[in-house]
Structure 1
Amino acid sequence: MTALSLIAWVSLLAWAWLAFGQGRFWWTDLRLPPRDPGAPRPSVAVVVPARDEAEVLPLSLPSLLAQQYAGEARVILVDDGSTDGTGDLARKLGEAADTLPLTVTSPGEPPAGWTGKLWALRHGVELAGNVEYLLLTDADIAHAPDSLDSLVAAAETGRDRNAGSGGYDLVSQMARLSTATRWEQLIVPAFVYFFAQLYPFRWSNKPGARTAAAAGGCTLVRREALAEVGGVAAIRGAVIDDVNLARLVKRGGGRTWIGLGDRVDSVRPYPELGQLWRMVSRSAYAQLRHNVLLLVGTVLGLALIYLVPPVLLVVGLVTLAPTVIVPSLAAWALMAVTFRPMLAYYGRPAAETLLLPFTASLYLLMTVDSAIQHWRGRGAAWKGRTYPAPDQHGEESELPAR
């Protein structure tokens, strides 16, 4: 067996594990369960951190204010030092009749050790008072009219309110991102696919499993469960705040759930590759815990899994080497089969499965660039702020495991 055929077979074995042993990460069937229209609806506060969001706010905030919720609910928009009139625009949008009550507030600049978003969330959570649930949602997320009701109903499923047991302490939906432009169509489905591969939703939803994940754009959390694990302050320096929040709640004994959202959509456009590049690279090295060895391992792993099959298939065809052709073709086929459901979820044609190796190469470069920017002191840069590697209150120190 030649060295090339050995590499090809290793790549195929890796794909066999991913396809059949990684928690069925590529299935896109996890959705919120049907809600019980007769169940009680506890009080909820919707907390929206917003920094320079005047462009997208008219598309997102009205959808929150128009939520059809049978219980008590209010919206708190926390203006995180915006310079584009975000706060004033939010107040105007809140003047519409027959909408949920809106509070617009500002916490000032975050202290050392806090990210701006989490400082804003902490302020909003404090203003929410003694509600039962908190919906933490980004300013670019538009919700269908029954979104809040569905989230709370899912969290309440199976809960014995007298015994204080059952139900979920955190329910999160991965919002559907924009795919209007060609670059978005290329990058976005792969982004969600890679996220699910790293954090298989079924493993995350399994009580007792170490894997935990959430999508920061739409996360409903029980207020008492959040308070019991130290509140937002417990993750105050986390750049990847959603995953760390889910991990914190789960390690505190809470039950978490994550799935794809059909009627929760991001309205933020990413028409250019540079914008998508920054979205990924600002947190990629943080995901690797700012560890050089993990960076090297990730680059090699991406190359073995996504780049080896097409490259060695071409080499095998040119050299007429069946021991290279067969495993390379099989690995690429598994890659395409597992990517197809995500493309279908985003309404993209099956032929685009063949582009995943190219997209993966872009993500490889984004990850390396994330590390380079961190070493240059520009890591985790977002809207005029740059965050250093977090201390013990930032990113958790474990990768997901079954």
Structure 2
Amino acid sequence: MSAVAWTAVGSLAAWGWLLLGQGFFWRTDQRLPPRVDPADWPDVAIVVPARDEAGTLPHSLPSLLAQDYPGRAEIVFVDDNSADGTGELARALSERHGGLPLSVVAPGEPEPGWTGKLWALRHGIASARARGPEYLLLTDADIAHAPDSLRELVAAARTNGLDLVSQMARLRVVSGWERLVVPAFVYFFAQLYPFRWVNRRGARTTAAAAGGCVLLRTEAAERAAVPESIRGAVIDDVSLARAVRRSGGGIWLGLAERVESVRPYPRLAQLWRMVSRSAYAQLLHSPLLLAGTVVGLALIYLVPPVALVAGLVGGDAMAAWAGGVAWAVMTGTYLPMLRHYGQPALLAPLLPFTALLYLLMTVDSAVQHHRGRGAAWKGRTYARPEAAPER
């Protein structure tokens, strides 16, 4: 066989493994586990870190204020040195909508060694702990919750004895670039951290969470010494889940149906920054891991269409067959995620192009890191941020 054919066969073999041996990552059936209402509803503090979120708060904060929760719950809103009146707007929205009580705290600029979000969470959690809640709901300022979201999360945690319950919020998919890039973002995340593997019990299994929506038992947070133990992590949600699991806690991660991000990413540049700011941190800032990732992405996602076209043009039947079958398997595994996001199946064959974009974003992340710009977000740059602890 030709070199192209051998490479295509290698890609097809890789897809055979991904299809059956990677925790069925492509399935979208990991939703909140079975649950029953507890006899007594525990106290909960909702901690919301926010920096310059005046544009999103009117679409998200009212959903937290309106939570239909049978127990005692309150919101601790952490204004992380915003320059757009975020804290004042939060107070105004609370007065206008009523609902759960809301307090606003301002931690000041992060101390050395802390990333901004974890610094904000540190102060928000410390303020919440003074009230003695059994659970903390850590949720981003751009996340809107259905009225029964908190009730469902607490019931799932109590019923199943879980210390951490996290839902991957449904991201906004409106613009053309969002349709092309966003479902693939969740697909790639699930491929890297198969939800089924995350949800297995045991200290040595995969650990991950989605930072937009994390219900955390306060006792588990204290046992894992979070957020202090992960204070420099850029990928804070995965680091949090690993810390809880290492300390013996049970964790669960799945897709949300009625927890949604309201943050728009209408242009490619915005999506690019979202991915590239932390991609190299995920690779532990290792040039070797970067090279392996580039080769792996190329073999798995780019080789199939290239081999199919090259085989058809050059009369290489084996290359065309192996490339075509690999591309078909790839397309099939992407369809469930597109259905989850209500997107047309015609987008599935475009996954190789989207993967190429992610490959370039990852390389750009490494370039920015070595230029000393590191992970940049909302006016802060972490030149050499700490990666998430090893899995």
User: Same-fold call, TM > 0.5?
Assistant: yes
Query: After superposition, where does 1:310-349 map in structure 2 within 5 Å?
Result: 310-349=305-344
| Partners of 1:176 and 1:113 in 2: CA distance | 31
| Partners of 1:179 and 1:97 in 2: CA distance | 27
1:35 Cα offset (Å): 3.8
| Partners of 2:115 and 2:38 in 1: CA distance | 40
Query: After superposition, where does 1:196-345 map in structure 2 within 5 Å?
Result: 196-208=190-202, 209-345=204-340
Amino acid corresponding to residue 180 of structure 1 in structure 2:
V
1:39 Cα offset (Å): 3.3
Give the structure 2 partner of residue 157 of structure 1. 159
Question: 2:388 aligned with 1:395, yes or no?
Answer: yes
Give the structure 2 partner of residue 40 of structure 1. 40
Query: After superposition, where does 1:170-209 map in structure 2 within 5 Å?
Result: 170-208=164-202, 209=204
Q: Report the secondary structure of 2:112's partner residue.
A: coil
1:389 Cα offset (Å): 2.5
Amino acid corresponding to residue 156 of structure 1 in structure 2:
R
Q: Report the secondary structure of 1:312's partner residue.
A: helix
The CA deviation string for residues 91-138 of structure 1, in whole angstroms up to 9 with x for no partner, is 001113540000011000000000110000010000012210000000
Amino acid corresponding to residue 340 of structure 1 in structure 2:
L
Q: Report the secondary structure of 1:99's partner residue.
A: coil
| Partners of 2:384 and 2:330 in 1: CA distance | 33
134, 137, 142: which is aligned to 1:135? 137
| Partners of 1:251 and 1:326 in 2: CA distance | 45
| Partners of 2:296 and 2:247 in 1: CA distance | 32
1:34 Cα offset (Å): 4.6
Report the more deviating stretch, 175-184 or 316-325. 316-325
The CA deviation string for residues 347-366 of structure 1, in whole angstroms up to 9 with x for no partner, is 01111111000000000000
1:329 Cα offset (Å): 0.9
Q: Report the secondary structure of 2:136's partner residue.
A: strand
1:4 Cα offset (Å): 1.1
Q: Report the secondary structure of 1:282's partner residue.
A: helix
Q: Report the secondary structure of 1:277's partner residue.
A: helix
Question: 2:14 aligned with 1:10, yes or no?
Answer: no
Give the structure 2 partner of residue 77 of structure 1. 77
Q: Say if 2:23 and 2:194, in contact at 8 Å, map to a contact too.
A: yes
TM-score by length of 2: 0.98
Which sections of structure 1, spanning at least 5 residues, go unmatched?
159-166
How many residues matched? Answer: 388
The CA deviation string for residues 165-209 of structure 1, in whole angstroms up to 9 with x for no partner, is xx1000000000000100000000000000000000000110114
Q: Report the secondary structure of 2:216's partner residue.
A: strand
Deviating 4+ runs (over 4 angstroms): none
CA RMSD of aligned residues (A): 1.0
1:258 Cα offset (Å): 0.3
Amino acid corresponding to residue 190 of structure 1 in structure 2:
A
The CA deviation string for residues 247-286 of structure 1, in whole angstroms up to 9 with x for no partner, is 1101111110000000000000000000000000000000
Give the structure 2 partner of residue 21 of structure 1. 21
| Partners of 1:91 and 1:98 in 2: CA distance | 10
Question: 2:81 aligned with 1:87, yes or no?
Answer: no
Q: Report the secondary structure of 1:306's partner residue.
A: helix
Question: 2:352 aligned with 1:357, yes or no?
Answer: yes
Give the structure 2 partner of residue 53 of structure 1. 53
Amino acid corresponding to residue 242 of structure 1 in structure 2:
D
Q: Report the secondary structure of 1:386's partner residue.
A: strand
1:30 Cα offset (Å): 0.9
1:38 Cα offset (Å): 5.2
Report the more deviating stretch, 27-36 or 188-197. 27-36
The CA deviation string for residues 309-350 of structure 1, in whole angstroms up to 9 with x for no partner, is 000100000112111111111110110010000000000111
Report the more deviating stretch, 190-199 or 323-332. 323-332
1:3 Cα offset (Å): 1.2
1:37 Cα offset (Å): 3.5
356, 361, 365: which is aligned to 1:366? 361
Which sections of structure 2, spanning at least 5 residues, go unmatched?
none
